Amino acid sequence: MIGASQPKAAACLVTRLASQHMQSGGERKFASACQYYLGNGRPEIFQLQPNHPKKTLRSVPGIIYDPKRLIYSHFKIAKQVYELANFWDGEPEGKKELLRLLTREGKWLRWEGEKEDSSKKPKAGCKDQVEEALLPALHSTNVVVLLESGASFSAKNKGGQNAPGMWHLWQAVKNGCGEAAFNDIANSVIGHVPTEGEENIEALLSLCKMSIELLEVRVEKNAAAPDRARLKQLKDFVATAEREILAKVDFVSSVTELPAHTKFLRKFARRSSEKPRVKLFTTNYDLCIETAGLRLGVVLVDGFSHSAEQWFNRDHFDYDIVRRVASSAKADYLDGVFHLYKLHGSVDWRRRADEVVIRSVDDTGEDRSPVLIYPRSSKYQEAFESPYLDMFAALQAALREPDTTLIVSGFGFADDHISGPDLVSHRNKPVD
């Protein structure tokens, strides 16, 4: 998606990459939210519900995919079953033939234009239009990039663990707790054990946290309350769930293939150092960006100190990297420097007992608690705690700067604490 100065001919570039492979007995695909922009700039979001081995669209207005004619269309039907392709099956470049551009006139354009055929007039592609719109946008004074979970699906570990979707996290927590214990918790807080296609780890953890808060009040007022054992059971479940989620999202290693992240950073590393640094904001816990940056030799200013034990301080974002020659008093800004803001924390962040956030991969404990905003409804409230508040404040400030281009990748606009402020900030700015 292009923010700030949106291209006049196109509202948004959409793809049929809103899926990823899951392994549970046989192949399973999971479709995330598919969104596009209409002519009025209002985001229309359609949630694609998972079903095995195909996808099921619930009876709400949305988008269907006709695998024979390769088109999307609006629909209002009770149920439509279809399959989605995985854009990143075509790694490292991805399957560009799956890209579609929705114009403001409501027409869909494929990426490459059709070859000339004497029997019919060839249809134009959108490649030139998109590149023509992107080039000036990428040379804006300020560039802000927002990456969400979908941006990590391009990372590949051959034969190993890849970026998880919400269904993966559900299964990881279920396996970590044991099916019987897991079903007992689900039944107690939801009222039933979710069937296939109803798995929602965020909703489950949200209900668990609310139940814990209610039981804590009851136990505090009555020391002899019979709910003490139930309270402990719920707390143990949440602790296990958080541990399993942390392990599942820590999938990046020295051999992980990161074609998209590497290419993206390499392209922006050539940007003039005289312009403000590109600001990368991500809700992902993983180390895709850090690992790709390390391989390229670029510098990521992420709010941590350069001491032996690196600790977080928002003032570090005001620092920059310069080159100074001994024979000159002039300092030159280095190329290839980015600002990285991890809005929901990171797998290598730990909070010490004194509340100082450090970079560490040590095992978690009382003096080394993970710094992550886990998937649950309290994300909005937790975002007001440090260091998350500093990150979100920086995002808001960056979006209000004049001549700013916002690039969004892998974001389904499901996080209200991000999509609401982002859209408000951009709508309040003049559009060329």
Q: What b/e readout covers 267-292, taking b as 16+ CB neighbours within 10 angstroms?
A: ebbebebeebbbbbbbbbbbbbbbbb
Neighbours of 425 (CB within 10 A): 19
pLDDT at 344 over 70: yes
Nearest to 132 by CA among 7, 15, 38, 264: 7
- pLDDT band for position 427 (50/70/90)? low
| Across 22-36, 105-119, 137-151, least confident range | 22-36
Cα distance between residue 190 and residue 30, in whole Å: 23
Span 105-125, mean pLDDT? 72
Q: How far apart, in whole angstroms, are the C-alpha atoms of residue 206 and residue 204?
A: 5
pLDDT of residue 89: 62
For the chain, the structural domain boundaries read 10-113, 142-161+257-427, 166-249
165-215 pLDDT, tens digit per residue, is 889 999 999 999 999 999 999 999 999 999 888 899 999 999 999 999 999
- Model confidence at 56, pLDDT cuts 50, 70, 90, reads very low
Average pLDDT over residues 403-423: 74
d(CA 375, CA 347): 14
278 SS3 class: strand
Q: What pLDDT shows up at residue 187?
A: 94
Mean pLDDT over the full length of the chain: 75
pLDDT at 181: 95
pTM: 0.75
CB 342 within 8 A of CB 302: yes
